[in-house]
Amino acid sequence: MDYSIGIDIGGTNTVIGLVDESGTVVAKEKLRTKESSIVDDYLKSVATKIELLADRVKEENLILGVGIGAPNGNYYHGTIEYAPNLPFNGIIELKEILEVLLLKDGYNLKVTVTNDANAAAIGEMIYGKAKNVRNFIMITLGTGVGSGIVVDGKLVYGHTGFAGEVGHTIIDIDGRQCNCGRKGCVERYASATGIVITIKEMLANTTRDSILRAIKEDEITSKDIYEAALKGDSLALECFDYTAKILALGIANASEVTSPEKVYLFGGLSKAGDILLNPLKKYLNEFLFSVFQNTIDIELSGLKEEDAAILGAAALCY
């Protein structure tokens, strides 16, 4: 049986998994991303974890390689470039450094790098619902809004390697300040962070009753908004409706460039299910140019949340 190693580099933790060809995560290793601000020390720890996993199957099986999903990961260069939520500054030569470290210890493994949302899209294509779908958009709804776009069965990287940033398309040039340095990006409205900003604005600008007024403003989470919406809280439901409207606008703009068959949602905010999906589907169809209306299905991802990032990264090896 063939295996691959998938790595999810997050702002807090790095998770490394050994994945078999059926998409089962056989074993995992974990370390804190921020345990060292010295990138060489961090990558030495990552290489050690990779070798521990590789040793489990090296006698009788083939390891296809190592795939890494990381913030601001560049597929063309094998680098992480200016990732704001990682402790390493500038451009990190991730592929080159790791391959050298592994080869030094006798492991001749090819390393492939992309950003975390692109990895999720590839994971959906190899292991999830998109196995037979050649045109789709993967939207990851977490602290930010990530996306991976597949056209004619191929992930779109573009000239720079960073194509497909739906979350950083601008829907209001005078809108909210984004961490990217610009204003009005989709992710400042349609992420878990964005929906909390929205509800705080709504609570401040209206005297309407809401369950959420019982929570201290700086302690409100997207989960609180979801739970309030489930109980029929009108302000929470209106907040989800507005969030869906902004996300639909971002998806519509991307869809009119790529014409997807499916849009898959993944990440914390997608757990809201129909509370988000129903208004999202309605607004998307309203915003689409007539030739695209009723041609796009929106579904939740088929990947298991606990393993999705690892599976997506591992799928880079195919």
**Each residue of 216-237: b (16+ CB within 10 Å) or e?**
eeeebebebbbebbeeebebbb
Short-list 297, 271, 11, 3, CA closest to 141: 271
Task: Note the pLDDT tens digit of each residue in 128-165.
Answer: 999 999 999 999 998 889 999 999 999 999 999 999 99
Task: Note the pLDDT tens digit of each residue in 289-302.
Answer: 999 999 999 999 99
Residue 71 confidence (pLDDT): 86
Task: Note the pLDDT tens digit of each residue in 185-236.
Answer: 999 999 999 999 999 999 999 999 999 999 999 999 999 999 999 999 999 9
Percentage of the chain beyond pLDDT 90 is 82
Short-list 72, 56, 58, CA closest to 9: 72
Q: Report the C-alpha gap between 236 and 242 in whole angstroms.
A: 10
Q: Average pLDDT, whole number, for the chain? A: 94
Tokens of 303: 């990947």
Counting every residue written for the chain, the total comes to 318
Residue 126 confidence (pLDDT): 87
SS3 195: helix
315, 301 in Cβ contact below 8 A?
Answer: no
Phi, psi (5° rounding) for residue 160? -90, -15
Q: Report the C-alpha gap between 314 and 23 in whole angstroms.
A: 9
